[in-house]
Amino acid sequence: MKNSRPYLYVLLASLLWASTPAVVKLLLADLNVLQILFFNNLFALIGLAVVTFIQGKLTLIRGYSRNDYVVFAWMGFLGVFLYTLFLSGAISLLRAQEAYIINYLWPVMILIFASVILKEKITKRKIVSIICSFVGVSIVITGGDLLNLKFGNFYGILLAVFGAVTYGLFSVTGKKQDYEKYTSMTIYYIFGFVYAVVSVLFFSEIPKISIYQLAGLFWLGFFTSGLAFVFWFLALKHGDTAKMSSMIFLTPFLSLIYIYFMIGEKILFSSIAGLVIIVVGILIQSKSPNPRSF
C-alpha cells in the first residue's frame, strides 16, 4: 500500500487539474473571467490555509523577511493571478480542449527559460522536445490543416500561449528558491487574491451567485487550485520525482473526458493528435539520458 500511495496522490492531482477547462467553460456562461478569478483565488486560499494550519506550518510565515515577501508578491502575480487570467481568458475565446492543450507548451517554456535564466545546457534531446511541442500545438490551432495555416481565434491562441509562457517563467523562477512549499503557496494565493480583488473592483464587479455557481467556483478554487497542489506535493514527497512528473501528463488527456461529458464539446482528432505529439516531446526530454544517446 505504501508503494502505491504516491501513484494515488498523483492520480488525484491529475483528476482535479483536468477538470479545470470544463468547469471554467461552464462558469463563463454567467460570469466573466475576472469574477471567476476572484472566487477561484478566494477558495484556493481558504483551502491551502486550512491545510497549512492543520500541518502546523503557519508559524513559519512569521520567519520570512521583507525581501521574501517581495518575492512572494511577484510569484503570486506571475503564477497565480496572471497565469489563471490568461488561461481563463483563452478558454473563454477558444474551444476548451484547444485552450488547455496549447497551454501545455509550459514544459517547453521551462526548458527555454531554464537555458536563459539558469544557464542550463540545451541538448539535442531538448531541441527535439521543443520541435515536437510546437508541431503539436500547430496541429491543434490549425485543426490539422498545417498547409493552409487557418488559425482559430487569434487572441484566444495568444492568451493560451501567454499562459504557458507565464507558467514556464513562474516554474523556473521557483527553482531558484527554497521556501517551504505549503506556506509559500498559501502566501502566493494571498497576493493572488489581493490582485484579483483590485481587478474585479476596478474592471468588473463582485456578482451575486447561485448555489450552482457557488458549487462550481468552490470546486475550481478549493479543489483544482488548492487541494490538487497538496496531492501533488505529497506525490513528490513519497514517490519518485521522474515517475510522478511523467504521470502528471495524464492530465490533458483526462481533461478531454471532462470536456466531452460536462460541456458536450466534440473532441477533434487534431486535438488528440497534437496532444500526443506534445506529450511525446515532453517525455523525450524528461527521460533520463544514457551516456551513448544524444
Tell me the per-residue pLDDT of 193-223, one tens digit each, with 9 for 90 and over.
Answer: 999 999 999 999 999 999 999 999 999 999 9
Q: Work out the average pLDDT over 274-278.
A: 88
Determine, yes or no, domain membership for 291. Answer: no
- pLDDT of residue 108 exceeding 90, the answer is no
| Angle at which helices 269-286 and 106-117 cross, to 10° | 30
pLDDT(3) > 80: no
Q: Report yes or no on 105 lying in a domain.
A: yes
Give the pLDDT confidence score for residue 35 in this predicted structure. 97
Is residue 293 very low, low, confident or very high in pLDDT (cuts 50, 70, 90)?
A: very low
SS3 151: coil
pLDDT score of 289: 44
Question: How is residue 234 written as a grid cell?
Answer: 505529497
Would the pLDDT of 1 be above 60? Answer: no
| Cα–Cα distance, 102 to 95 (Å, whole number) | 11
294 pLDDT exceeds 50?
Answer: no
Range picked from 104-118, 131-145, 228-242, 261-275 for highest mean pLDDT: 261-275
Q: Is residue 209 domain-resident?
A: yes
Q: Is residue 158 over pLDDT 90?
A: yes
Domain membership of residue 274 (yes or no) is: yes
pLDDT over threshold 60, residue 105: yes
Distance from C-alpha of 127 to C-alpha of 110, rounded to nearest angstrom: 13
Q: 288 pLDDT exceeds 60?
A: no
pTM of this prediction? 0.88
Secondary structure element (H or E) that encloses residue 8, with its range: helix 5-18
At 292 the pLDDT is 33
Average pLDDT of the segment spanning 81-109? 92
Does 132 fall in a domain?
yes
In this structure, is residue 292 part of a structural domain? no
Q: Identify the pLDDT of residue 153.
A: 84
CA torsion sign for 105, 111, 115, 118 is positive
Strand, coil or helix: 179: coil
Q: Which residue has the higher pLDDT, 150 or 93?
A: 93
d(CA 113, CA 119): 9
Using the 8-state DSSP alphabet, how is residue 62 labeled?
A: G
**Cβ contact 259:275 at 8 Å:** no
pLDDT at 282 over 80: no
Tally of CA atoms within 13 A in the half-sphere of 171 that contains its CB: 18
Specify if 46 maps to a domain.
yes
pLDDT confidence tier of residue 124, bands split at 50, 70 and 90 = confident
Question: Would residue 293 count as lying in a domain?
Answer: no
Give the pLDDT confidence score for residue 71 in this predicted structure. Answer: 95
* Over residues 54-64, mean pLDDT: 87
Domain range for 197: 5-286
Q: What percent of the chain has pLDDT over 70?
A: 92
Cell of 168: 514556464
The reported pLDDT for the residue numbered 291 is 33
**Number of structural domains found in the chain:** 1
The mean pLDDT of the chain is 87
